[in-house]
Structure 1
Amino acid sequence: MMNKEFLTDRVADLLARSGFSVSDRCYVRPRSFDLAARRGGILLILKILSNIDGLNEKTAVEIRRLAKYLSGNPLLIGEKTRDHGLEGGVVYFRYGVPTVSLHTLADWIVEDIPPLVYAAHGGLYVKIDGGLLRKLRLESGISLGALASELSVSRRTVSKYEIESMDTTIEVALRLEELFGQELIKPVEILEQRSPVAGVQCLIDDKVLSHLAQIGFEVFPTVQSPFNAITQNEAMVVLTGVGKLSPTMMKKARLMSSLSIITKTRSAVIVDGETKVERVEETAVIETRELEMIDKTSEFADLMSEKQDR
C-alpha cells in the first residue's frame, strides 16, 4: 500500500497531466484537505488517505463546508477500506464525501469514463433511468407483473424503478439492459451543482473576524484549514488568516496565495503588531490597527488591492 505522501504525489501528477491546475500541498496542520485543483468550472477540494477509514466526521464536515462555500466539490482519494482495496469504477462515501481509488479517478478525468457503481450498506448498487425504463417497457408491451416476474422482484419494486428511479443491484440493472437492449445505468454523480453560500451566519468568537462581520461581510470560520475563515460579500470571497506575525503565518500566507489562485478567490492575513511586509505572493498582509480603521467592505477591498499592487 502506498503511503500518504506517495499517493498524494500520484494524485497531484495525475491531475496536472489531465489539465487541472493544482495548488501547493497543505502541509500546515491541522489540515482538513490536502489539495485544491481546478479544470474549467470544476473545482475539487481533495483529501488523500491510504486507508479511507482514517477520515473522521469532523474533518469530513469541514471539507464539505469548504467545498460548499467555494462552489466546489469535496473528494476523498484512497486505496483501501478495512482490509480490502477499493474497487475500480466504484464510488464510496465517507460521511457524505464521495470517495474513489486512484484508478477510478484516472478513468474519470483522463478517459472520461465516469463511475457507474456506488457502495452502500449491503453491497454495490447502481442508478437507473426510470423514465427510459418505463418507456421501453410500454413500447415492448411488457406488463409490470411480467417484468417483475422476470427480475424476481415485486410489481411495487418495478414501479419504484420507473417512477422514483429507485436504485438497484448491478445484477438487476444488467438484466434490464439485456432485456431491452439499451443502456439504463446512469453514472454516479460525483460533482454536484453548487452555488455560493449566502445568508447563513456562523457563531464567531474571534475579535478580528467579528469586526469583518460587523462591517458587512459574511464570515464562515474554519477549524482545520490553513486559513481561519472564508470571508465574503457579493463582490468577493477572501481566504482570511488571523494571528501573530511569525514564520508559520508567512508559510500559511504563501499557501493561501496558491489556494486563492486555484479557487478564484482572494487572500489576506490580518496580523498583530507592525510589519513592513505588504503581501506574501498574492496574499495581502494587513495589520490589525489598519483593519480597526475600516468600517466598510469596500474599504477592506481597496486596502487589499493597494497592498497586492505594491
Structure 2
Amino acid sequence: MANRNQIIQEINQLLTGGGFETSQVYYQSCFDMAARKKLLLLLLKVLVNIDSVNETHVQEIRKVANTFLASPLVIGLKSKSSPLEEDVVYERHGLPVIGVDTLKNIVLYDERPEFLADRGGYFVNINGSILKEYREEYSLSLKDLADLAHVSRETIYKYENDMVRANPETAMILEDILNMKITVDIDIFETPKCDFDLNKVSSEENTNSEKTKDLSNLGFGVIETKKSPFDALAIENNSNDKSSDESPLIASLENNRAPKTLHKMAISLKDLSLITDSESFFIINNKKIKESLEGIPVIKSWELKEAGDSKEFMRLVKERRDN
C-alpha cells in the first residue's frame, strides 16, 4: 500500500493534469496542500487511514476554508482495514472524504459521486421536486407510487420534500418506474456552512498577544492558527461579506523564530499568496530584518501600532510588496 507522501505526489500530478494550480506540500499543517482552478479553491488533507483524522485539525481547516471561501476535502485510501469505495463520499467530523479514484473521476472526467456512506450503509439524495413532478405526470398518488416501490406513503412524501435520503435500491426502483433519473450528485466542493464569523472573534480566542490586538484595533477581524503555514488570518471588518472583492490577509507573527525559520515561512507565504490570491506579510521586531523576506513585506511592531486604520496599514503592506 502506498504511503502518505506517495499519495500526495499522485494527487498533485492528478490535479495539475486536470488544470489545477497546486501549492507546495505543508507538512505538520491542518491541510497538506492547496489547489486552485478558476474560482474553485481546495484545501486538501491526505491520509492513508481516514479514521486517523484529527478533530482539532478539522476545526482549524474549517475556519481557514470558511475565511478563504475554499472547499476542504480529505482524501484517503482506507477506513480501518477496508479500502474506500470508488464514487462514494464518506464523512469525518463534518468534512467530505473520498478515495483517490473518486477524485480522479471528478477531476479528469467530471463524474460526480452519488453515494454517501453513513451508518447503516450507502445512501443517495433524491431530487424531491422531480420525483413529485413525474409522479403526478404519471397520475400516481403517493400511495400508488409507494406500493410500486415497496415503501410507505410517508417515505415517498419525505423523498418529495427532501427530508430523508434513500437507499440506492429504492432509488433505482423509482427511476425504473418513472423512467427518469431522480438521484442528485453530491457536491463535495461546496464551501462548508460555518457559524464562525471572523469579525466576531473575541480577544480571548486570540492568544498571540499584542500583535493580534493591534491588528484588531486597526479594524481587522483576526483569527490565529496553530496548525497551518501561517500564524493568523485577517480581513477588514467592512469587507467580510460574500460580495466583497477583498481577500483574507495571511500574517506571520514573529514569535522569536530564528531567521532561517522565517525565511522558510516566507517561501510558504509567497506560495500560498499566489494560490489564494491574497496578501501576506510579517510582523517582526528584529531590527536586522529590513523591509521584506523573500519578497514578503515586513512590518515592524511599532509601525503596526502607529498605523491609523486598516487602509493605512494596507497601503504600507502594498508599498513594501511593490518595492
TM-score bracket, normalised by the shorter chain, equals over 0.9
Aligned to 1:261: 274
CA RMSD of aligned residues (A): 1.7
**1:217 and 2:228 are equivalent in the alignment:** no
Could you state the TM-score of these two structures normalised by the residue count of structure 2? 0.91
Q: Where in structure 2 are the equivalents of 1:93-112 lying within 5 Å?
A: 93-112=91-110
* Paired AA for residue 305 in structure 2: E
Shift of 1:90: 0.5
C-alpha separation in 2, matches of 1:198 and 1:252: 23
- Contact 1:90/1:100 (<8 A) preserved: yes
Quick one: percent identity of the two aligned structures? 32
3-state DSSP of counterpart to 1:179 = helix
- Contact 1:240/1:267 (<8 A) preserved: yes
3-state DSSP of counterpart to 1:159 = helix
Shift of 1:46: 0.7
3-state DSSP of counterpart to 2:200 = coil
Aligned to 1:201: 201
Shift of 1:198: 5.0
Given the alignment, which residue of 228, 232, 235 partners 1:229?
Answer: 232
- Contact 2:127/2:182 (<8 A) preserved: yes
3-state DSSP of counterpart to 2:215 = helix
C-alpha separation in 2, matches of 1:284 and 1:245: 17
Specify whether residues 76 and 223 from structure 1 end up closer, same or farther in structure 2 by C-alpha distance, changes over 3 A only.
same
* Paired AA for residue 17 in structure 1: G
Aligned to 1:130: 128
C-alpha separation in 1, matches of 2:223 and 2:317: 19
Specify whether residues 77 and 194 from structure 1 end up closer, same or farther in structure 2 by C-alpha distance, changes over 3 A only.
closer
Shift of 1:123: 0.7
Shift of 1:215: 1.2
* 4+ runs deviating over 3 angstroms: 193-199
Aligned to 2:310: 297
* Paired AA for residue 132 in structure 1: I
3-state DSSP of counterpart to 1:33 = coil
- Contact 2:47/2:74 (<8 A) preserved: yes
* Paired AA for residue 109 in structure 1: V
Structure 2's unaligned 5+ residue stretches are 240-245
Aligned residues, how many? 308
3-state DSSP of counterpart to 1:199 = helix
Specify whether residues 102 and 282 from structure 1 end up closer, same or farther in structure 2 by C-alpha distance, changes over 3 A only.
farther
- Contact 1:127/1:165 (<8 A) preserved: no
Shift of 1:282: 4.4
Aligned to 2:82: 84
Could you state the TM-score of these two structures normalised by the residue count of structure 1? 0.94
**More divergent stretch after superposition (189-198 vs 97-106):** 189-198
C-alpha separation in 2, matches of 1:278 and 1:128: 57
